[in-house]
Amino acid sequence: MGKSVLVVGAGLAGLAAALRLAKNGYSVHIVEKNSQPGGRLNQLKKEGFTFDTGPSFFSMSYEFKQFARDCGIDLPFRYVELDPLYTVNFSNSPKTWYLYKDIKKLAAQFEEVEPDFEEKMRRYLDKCRRIFHDTVDIVIKQNFNSLFDFGLALMRVNPVHLPILFRKFNQQVNRYFVSAEARRMVSLVAFFLGRTPFDTSAVYTLLSYTEFMHDGYYNVEGGMYGIVEGLVRELDKAGVKITCNTEITGFRGANGRLEAFTDRSGQEWSADLFLANGDAAVFRGSVMNRMAFSPEKLDRMEWTMGYLTIYLGIRRKLPHVNHHNYFLGDNFEAYARDVRINPDTLQKPYYYVNVISKYNDHCAPEGCESLFFVCPVPDLRYKPDWSDREEIAMSIISDFGKRIGQDIVPDILTKTIYTPLEWKEQFNLHRGSGLGLSHKIMQIGAFRPKNYDEEFKNLFYAGASTIPGAGLPMAIISANLAFERMTAVL
């Protein structure tokens, strides 16, 4: 039997790392705080309805395929490409914009507001493409042993991209487009990184390339939780056990080696190697008692925004509503500047709606629909009191009814609301920040919490707040990078 590994956390990065390790002869056990695996990629079942609780689509499908190949398995879930990627609706206009991958089809909608949209979009995407291909292998899919190492890697990036480092996402987009509509729509993807186009580096315009050209977005057949179910099946076959309802709260270690983690009931979990999949900054602070990650220090770091999510089962079909939809207001710039810190933005909230039952019949009883709402909100530093959750949720649901021309309030059969309080409590997320540490330049690469421990040589980290960052494909890459580190340990 190979070396034993204890993985703390059954989020996507924990599950993927566990499978890689098991397939390479390690004896792996996973402990998870919650009652089911998946972490933020989770599932809620209620009164005949099924909801994905977090992610509703993924990009970079080839990372998942490569992961499966590396593990010697068939990809344990099936996915379908999204086209259009999503729709966008502004409150001051009845028009619905369809974000097609086909640039000609996309451009046709911009004829009146942005002349030569197609040509501009192709030029913009071409720059995004070059940023992506010039950085992905050198910066994103790499372990760094020091800041010096990271500096050397950055020096290998084509210097033509240097000015990008000094621009924000919106500034880069503004160089190509003049209309408010095109600028807003193209920069919307910055919100997927948990920040806004105004405080996200222009480096991340590479995301426009990933969504429109490189690979697009995908849904999992049967719902996103199919990814977790598939991995759990493979883990089971590989002999990996998952123990749920077990939260790690302490540790025992000596002479630079971690000997055991301790759970809330006092039980010890020992192994040769350990992998923490809980948030890499929070875990260091709350479990490893590291001063550099004390609550005050964490507050000084830059976090992604919080989310208010609503899971709604309704007694009605909504055939005219698309699968993925953004409902925005008419004050984009002011909203984006305020959304992370000012609870007043919730008076005119921007939100996303996913109709999971549209292509997954079993997710809702016959004649019904399962809806998932995501609304970006300030984290618990800026809005600690969520006693008004019901009021806010109902205002979003009513607004949605007006936008689609169908009041759904009388049709509600079940409603569940998660505020940043629930996100924090369930998954140990700092102040309820939805995606973990932000991706500002001083928090990426070697500046991000490392995927190896500062004190214990046999403790490693994988997940959104270590390298490379947030999102499902990044969790897969993070697991690979941690695996590389762990298997290099003698």
Ligand X SMILES: Cc1cc2nc3c(=O)[nH]c(=O)nc-3n(C[C@H](O)[C@H](O)[C@H](O)COP(=O)(O)OP(=O)(O)OC[C@H]3O[C@@H](n4cnc5c(N)ncnc54)[C@H](O)[C@@H]3O)c2cc1C
Contact residues for ligand X, defined by CB under 6 A: 8-14, 31-34, 39-41, 54-58, 247-248, 277-278, 287, 307, 309, 374, 427-428, 434-435, 463-464, 470-472, 475
For ligand X, the closer CB: 386 or 427: 427
* CA–CA dist 178, 182 (Å, integer): 7
- Closest contact distance (angstroms) between CB of 46 and ligand X is 17
- Closest contact distance (angstroms) between CB of 384 and ligand X is 19
- Closest contact distance (angstroms) between CB of 291 and ligand X is 19
Beta-carbon contacts of 121 under 8 Å, excluding residues fewer than 6 positions away, are 103, 106, 107, 176, 186, 212
For residues 468-480, b (16+ Cβ closer than 10 Å) or e, as one string? bbbbbbbbbbbbb
For ligand X, the closer CB: 330 or 455: 455
Widest pairwise Cα distance in the chain:
69
Other C-beta atoms closer than 10 Å to the C-beta of 119 total 12
- Closest contact distance (angstroms) between CB of 135 and ligand X is 19
Of 253, 285, 287, nearest in space to 271 by CA:
253
**Token code pair at residue 85:** 């990627």
- Closest contact distance (angstroms) between CB of 447 and ligand X is 18
Kindly state the helix (H) or strand (E) to which residue 230 belongs, with its residue range. helix 225-237
CB-facing half-sphere around the CA of 181: CA atoms within 13 A:
21
For ligand X, the closer CB: 39 or 197: 39
Q: Which residue is nearest to ligand X (CB)?
A: 11
For ligand X, the closer CB: 11 or 84: 11
* CA–CA dist 462, 150 (Å, integer): 19
Instruction: Provide φ and ψ at 330, rounded to 5°.
Output: -110, 15
For ligand X, the closer CB: 120 or 430: 430
- Closest contact distance (angstroms) between CB of 233 and ligand X is 18
* CA–CA dist 265, 299 (Å, integer): 29
For ligand X, the closer CB: 235 or 475: 475
For ligand X, the closer CB: 277 or 325: 277
* CA–CA dist 41, 435 (Å, integer): 12
- Give all strands of the β-sheet with 268-270 in edge-to-edge order: 248-254, 257-263, 268-270
91 close to 329: Cβ distance less than 8 angstroms:
yes
- Closest contact distance (angstroms) between CB of 11 and ligand X is 2
For ligand X, the closer CB: 58 or 144: 58
For ligand X, the closer CB: 109 or 345: 345
For ligand X, the closer CB: 110 or 434: 434
Other C-beta atoms closer than 10 Å to the C-beta of 56 total 23
- Closest contact distance (angstroms) between CB of 108 and ligand X is 27
Beta-carbon contacts of 444 under 8 Å, excluding residues fewer than 6 positions away, are 139, 467, 468, 469
* CA–CA dist 483, 477 (Å, integer): 10
- Closest contact distance (angstroms) between CB of 35 and ligand X is 10
For ligand X, the closer CB: 303 or 307: 307
- Closest contact distance (angstroms) between CB of 58 and ligand X is 5
Coil vs helix vs strand at 50: strand
For ligand X, the closer CB: 124 or 352: 352
Q: Which residue has the tokens 């077990």?
A: 246
Coil vs helix vs strand at 206: helix
* CA–CA dist 228, 470 (Å, integer): 17
CA distances from 345 to 185, 328, 409 (A): 20, 12, 22
- Closest contact distance (angstroms) between CB of 488 and ligand X is 22
118 close to 103: Cβ distance less than 8 angstroms:
yes
193 close to 178: Cβ distance less than 8 angstroms:
no
- Closest contact distance (angstroms) between CB of 423 and ligand X is 6
- Closest contact distance (angstroms) between CB of 278 and ligand X is 3
For ligand X, the closer CB: 6 or 203: 6
